[in-house]
Chain A
Amino acid sequence: MCGIAGLIHRGKSADVGSELTSMLQALKHRGPDSTGFALYGNPREDEYVMRFKVAEQEDMRHGFLIHDQVKERKAEVDKRLEESGVRKTAELDATEYAFRYRFSFDGDMKRTADYVEDIEGVEILSLGNALELIKDLGDATVVSEQYSLSGFEGTHAIGHTRMATESDVDIRSAHPYWAYPYNDIAVVHNGQLTNYWGFRREMERRNHRFMSNCDSELIAVYIADRLDRGDELEEAMTRSVDELDGVFTYVVATEDKLGMAKDVMAAKPMVLYESDEFVALASEEVAIRSVFPHEIDTYDPYEGEVKVWQS
C-alpha cells in the first residue's frame, strides 16, 4: 500500500522535520516496514551535505564481525573522499551504520560518488546542497528520534511509509530515492510499475546505477535521466505519466521545487491542500490534518495530473 507525503513552505523556512514526522506517523497504517525523509534545508552554495550508510540495520544484528566491518568501511570512505579532494567540515553519526558529512568540494562529483559506492556495503543516500535523505526501519517517530530530525529547519520535504510488497524490508529498498548522481533530487512513490525491467535495462545502458530491485527507484533514475537530457522538472514528470506503465502516484522534490504526478488510471490516492504560503499533499487527508487541525479545503488531483510548486 505505502503512504507518501510532502510539504513546501513558500517564501520561508520552518521546522519541516517535525511537520513531516507528524504527517508520516499519521500514515503509519499504510506502511509500517520503514520510513524515509527527504528534508531540504537552507542550501549552502559552497558546501555539500552527504548522507550515507555502510551497512543495513539488519546486518548489525548478525555476526561479530560487522561492528569491525562498519568501522573499516567508514575509514575507507574517509580515505577515498580525501583522495578525491573532499574537504570535510562536519560529521554526524546518527547510528553505528549511517552518517552525515558536510564538506566542500569542486571536483567531479559523480566520479567521487562512484568511487565511494565501490566499497562493499556502502550506499550514498543523498548528496546535494540542501537535500538530506534519511531512511531506516521503523515508523516515523522511531526514525525521527533516531536521527534527531525534530527541529530540522527547511523549506520543503517529502517522505514515505513503506509496506514492502515487491522487494525486501531493508534500507536500500526504502524510500525516498535520491536521483543519483544529481544534486538535491529525491522521489517517493506509491504504486507498482509494470514496465520496470525494460526501462531499467534502458537506463543501465545509459550508465545509470540502481542500488535496489525496487521499482520505485526507476522513477528517480528516470527523472534524473530526463533532467540530464535538458527537460524541465514539470516536462519530465508529464512525460513520465505517458512512459511509465502501471499504477502510481509519486512526489518529487528538487532544491527549490515540489511536484506530484498521478497515473492515467488515478488508481493511487493523493489529497492536496494549497494556500499562498503552504502546500501539503499526502496519500490520506488525515496526514494533512496532523499539521492543520483546523478546517481546510482539500481536493484529489485527477488522473494523469502533474503539478509543481516553487518554494
Chain B
Amino acid sequence: MAELKTTDSPLEMGMHTEQLSGRTQQVFFSSEEGDNYTYPWADEVDLDKSTEIDAEGLEGKEVNLKIRDAMGQGYGTITVLNPAAKHSLGVGILNRLNLRFEGSLGYFGCGLVDGPNIVVTGRVGWSCAENMMAGTIVVEKNAGSTFGAALRGGDLVCKGDVGSRTGIDQKGGTIIVGGRAGAFSGFMMQRGRMVILGNAGKNLGDSMYDGTIYVGGAIEDLGVDAVEGEMTPLDAQWLTQKLGQYGLETPNGVEKMTKIVSGKQLWNYDNLEPSEKKLVL
C-alpha cells in the first residue's frame, strides 16, 4: 500500500487534515493516480482489451460473475447491456476497470468498489456506491436515496437529481449532484466533500461532524450543527477543477455557491461529546 499523500490544502479550506490511514482517505483522488494501489488478489487487466456482457435474462449475481470472469481473462473495458435496474450490479470490484452500464441499475449498485471507473447511462436506485473506496462513478440520469452512503473515497457523480439522505455518513471522497438533492443530505457526514449544483432539501448537513458541502441553488434549511462557511479562492479553484473534470458547471459561477461546514458545537473528532452543549442545541 502506498503512503498517504498529505497536503495543507484541507486546512486552508477549513477542514481537518486527514488523520485516517489508507489510500482511500486521499484528499484529492484522481483516477490517473491508480498506479499506487493494488490488492494482492486483484485482477491484472488491460484497459485496451474490451468485451460486452448482455444481462438480459440473467440474475444480478450471474451478471457480477460474468464481470469477474471477464476481468480474470484480462478484459479491462467491459460494457454491460440491458442491466434493467437489477440490484447489486458491479459491486466489490477492487481493481482498475472501465465499466459501462448501458441502462439503469437497481439498489446497491457499484457498492464497495475500489478503483474502477464506472459509467451508468441510465438511473441508479437506492444506495448506489455505498462504501465506495476509490475510483469514479458517473450516473448520467437520476439517482435514488442514500446515494453514496458511507462513501470513503473516489468521485461519485450524478448528473440528474438525487433522493434523500445523499452521502449519509460520508467518510471521504467527493459526491457531485448535477441537480437537486433531497432532505437530510450530508446527514452525519464525517469527511469528504459534497457538491450540489441544484437545490438542497431540508435538514442539509444535519449532525455533520466534518466535511464540506457546496450548494449552487437554494437550501431549504440547515440541519443541526450545520453552518455556513466562508468560500475561499481555494474552494473556487477546487470546484472549478472538479466540475470541469465531469463537464459540469453551475449557472451563477462557483464563487456564488454556498459552503456548509460543521459548526462543531455538537460533537467533533477532537473533543469528547459535551453533553451540556447538546442540551443547549
Contacts and interface: CB of A to CB of B under 8 A. Distances in A.
B95 interface: no
B116 interface: no
A242 B30 CA distance: 45
Interface residues of B, number: 29
Contacts of A265: 164, 183-184
A299 B183 contact: no
Contact of B183 (A266, A286, A288, A293): A266
A145 B163 CA distance: 37
A297 B183 contact: no
A95 interface: no
25 contacts: A265-B164, A265-B183, A266-B164, A269-B144, A271-B125, A284-B85, A284-B87, A284-B125, A285-B85, A285-B104, A285-B106, A285-B125, A286-B85, A286-B86, A289-B85, A295-B103, A295-B122, A297-B142, A299-B161, A300-B142, A302-B163, A302-B182, A303-B164, A303-B182, A303-B201
A266 B145 contact: yes
A302 B123 contact: no
Interface in B109-148: 121-123, 125-126, 141-142, 144-145
A269 B163 CA distance: 10
A293 B122 CA distance: 13
A286 B103 CA distance: 12
A284 B109 CA distance: 13
B142 A289 contact: no
Interface string A152-184: 000000000000000000000000000000000
Nearest to A295: B103
Given A269-B126, A271-B144, A284 B182 contact: no
B164 A286 contact: no
Given A266-B182, A289-B104, A303-B164, 9 more contacts: A265-B184, A284-B106, A295-B121, A297-B123, A300-B144, A300-B161, A302-B164, A302-B183, A302-B201
B107 A284 contact: yes
Nearest to A299: B142
The 10 closest A-B pairs by CB, nearest first: A285-B85, A266-B164, A300-B163, A303-B183, A286-B85, A289-B84, A299-B142, A289-B85, A300-B144, A286-B106
A299 B123 contact: yes
A300 B123 CA distance: 10
What is the predominant secondary structure among interface residues of chain A facing chain B? loop
A175 B179 CA distance: 36
A82 to B, nearest CB: 51
A286 B84 contact: yes
A50 to B, nearest CB: 37
A148 interface: no
Contacts of B103: 295
A89 interface: no
Interface string A17-49: 000000000000000000000000000000000
Contacts of B123: 285, 297-299
Interface of B: 82, 84-87, 103-104, 106-107, 121-123, 125-126, 141-142, 144-145, 160-161, 163-165, 180, 182-184, 201-202
Nearest to A290: B84
B130 to A, nearest CB: 15
Nearest to A302: B182
Contacts of B142: 297-300
Given A295-B122, A300-B163, A288 B85 contact: yes
A286 B161 CA distance: 19
A293 B83 CA distance: 10
Contacts of A288: 85
Contact of B104 (A269, A295, A300, A303): A295
Nearest to B82: A293
Contacts of A264: 183
Interface in A78-113: none
Nearest to B103: A295
Nearest to B124: A285
Contacts of A298: 104, 123, 142
A128 to B, nearest CB: 33
A223 B165 CA distance: 29
A308 B271 CA distance: 49
Nearest to A298: B123
Interface in A276-300: 284-286, 288-289, 293, 295, 297-300
Nearest to A286: B85
A269 B122 CA distance: 18
B84 A300 contact: no
Nearest to A303: B183
A119 B106 CA distance: 46
A135 to B, nearest CB: 26
B217 to A, nearest CB: 14
A272 to B, nearest CB: 10
A260 to B, nearest CB: 15
Contacts of B160: 299
A288 B86 CA distance: 11
A29 to B, nearest CB: 9
Contacts of A297: 123, 141-142
Which of A285, A286, A295, A302 neighbours the largest number of chain B CB atoms within 10 Å of its CB? A285
Nearest to A297: B141
Contacts of A299: 123, 142, 160-161
Contacts of A286: 84-87, 106
